[in-house]
Every structure is written in C-alpha cells, then in structure tokens.
Amino acid sequence: MIIDLSMPVNEQTVVFPGDAKPVFEQAGTLETVGFVDHVIHINNHLGTHMDAPGHMLGKDKLLSEYSVDRFVCQATCIDARGKDLLTADLLSDVELKPGEAILFYTGAGDNYTQQSYASDYPKIDLGLANLLVKKGIKMVGVDMISFDHDEPYPIHKALLDNDVLLIENLINLKAVVGKRFRLHALPIKLDLHAAPARVVAEL
C-alpha cells in the first residue's frame, strides 16, 4: 500500500510567516493557444518540501546534487502528539538504524488548511536533534511548518550541519504512526537548497 504524505499546493496553501503567498497565473487557454498552462509563483519552501544544508549554513551543495539514493529509505513514524516540546525520550523505545529516516507525528498537520497551522506547533529540543545526528539518521520529517519557530533556527542548523535532510509540512502521518515503512521523499530537481517534494510511504 502506498500512502501520500504530501500537502496539496494551491493559492490557499498556508505559508511560513513572512513568506510570499503562492500565485497561480493562467498563461495559455484553450481559446488563445490551444492548451492550458500556468505560471506559478511559489516560495521553494511551500507545502511539503525538503531542506538541504545550504538553506541555513552557506554550504554550496544543491539539493539537485544529492544522489536519489538519499531520498528513499526505511523509516519509522513516532507518535509525538500532545506535546509542547519534542524531547529525546521520544526515541527511547525506538530501534534507530543509521541511514534511516524518522518522522514525527505531532498532530499539528491535521490542521494544515487553517491559518493557525503557521504558528500553532510544538518546539523541538536541541537534545533530540543531537541524538538523531548521533544515531546516524539521514532524513527527519515533521507534520509542522518548520523545525524552528524563530531565529537563530537551532534545530535546522544542528541537523543540516550534519547533512541530515529535513522534510517539512508532511500530512496524513496518522496513517503511518507507530509503523515502519519505506519512505520515498523525492524533491523536484531544482538547483537550489530546498524544493517541493512528493512524499509517500510504502507499507
């Protein structure tokens, strides 16, 4: 079974505070040119997307330069509902293998269509980020608009500085919470440090 963990992208998709709102502008119409197409203006962190180290740390490597092997691996989704702060003890009963991915289901993503989604989400403790690095986790995903709330973005930096790729704005994690599955998190091959991604779980 394949489960879609990706957010729909449209002009109503909730953006990170301060980011430009998405605009879809119709270019061609059947009447004018015989086909329908659009010019889309979106932040590259809109909707379900992946962050690479250059997003925060001034590193040169582009997301498009990663091998696609990096985007497909075994994953576990941890139940992190009902918490204001996600801490390292969430991992105490979880078998973590180097090279795998971890997703955290906080419940924030259940309200992804509401404006409150942009601000109503838990914080992540630095101890949890450091433990994920120590365990050799290579991708971390959340059903939240960001891994941090504001500057200096310590959680992003702790993970990205160790080449852990980040996935933000996941949805439907309720369908995979507590499970192990194969994660396919494929960003568009943009020559940038982040890109929208189609993310699915294969159970």
The piece of 47-55, 87-95, 99-107, 118-126 that touches Zn ion (CB under 5 A) is 47-55
Decide if 184 contacts 202 (C-beta within 8 A). yes
Q: Is 156 in the site for Zn ion (CB under 5 A)?
A: no
Residue with Cβ nearer Zn ion (19 or 79): 19
Site string for Zn ion, 55-74 (x = CB under 5 A): --------------------
Binding residues with Zn ion: total (CB under 5 A):
3
Q: Determine the distance from the C-alpha atom of residue 127 to the mean position of all C-alpha atoms in its chain, rounded to a whole number.
A: 20
Q: How far is the CB of 18 from Zn ion (least distance, A)?
A: 13
Helix (H) or strand (E) holding 201: strand 194-202
Q: Is 51 in the site for Zn ion (CB under 5 A)?
A: yes
The piece of 27-35, 49-57, 88-96, 128-136 that touches Zn ion (CB under 5 A) is 49-57
| CB contact set of 201 (below 8 Å; sequence gap of 6+) | 2, 3, 5, 75, 77, 175, 176, 179, 181, 182, 183, 184
Decide if 131 contacts 88 (C-beta within 8 A). yes
Q: How far is the CB of 194 from Zn ion (least distance, A)?
A: 5
Q: How far is the CB of 168 from Zn ion (least distance, A)?
A: 5
Decide if 202 contacts 181 (C-beta within 8 A). yes
Q: Which residue has the tokens 């996941």?
A: 170
Residues 165-184 that bind Zn ion (CB under 5 A): 168
Residue with Cβ nearer Zn ion (156 or 181): 156
Q: Is 143 in the site for Zn ion (CB under 5 A)?
A: no
Q: How far is the CB of 145 from Zn ion (least distance, A)?
A: 9
Structure tokens of 182? Answer: 């194969």
| CB contact set of 151 (below 8 Å; sequence gap of 6+) | none
Residue nearest to Zn ion (CB): 45
The piece of 29-37, 81-89, 124-132, 161-169 that touches Zn ion (CB under 5 A) is 161-169
| Helix ranges, 51-199 (H) | 54-57, 126-134, 154-160
Q: Is 45 in the site for Zn ion (CB under 5 A)?
A: yes
Residue ranges binding Zn ion (CB under 5 A): 45, 51, 168
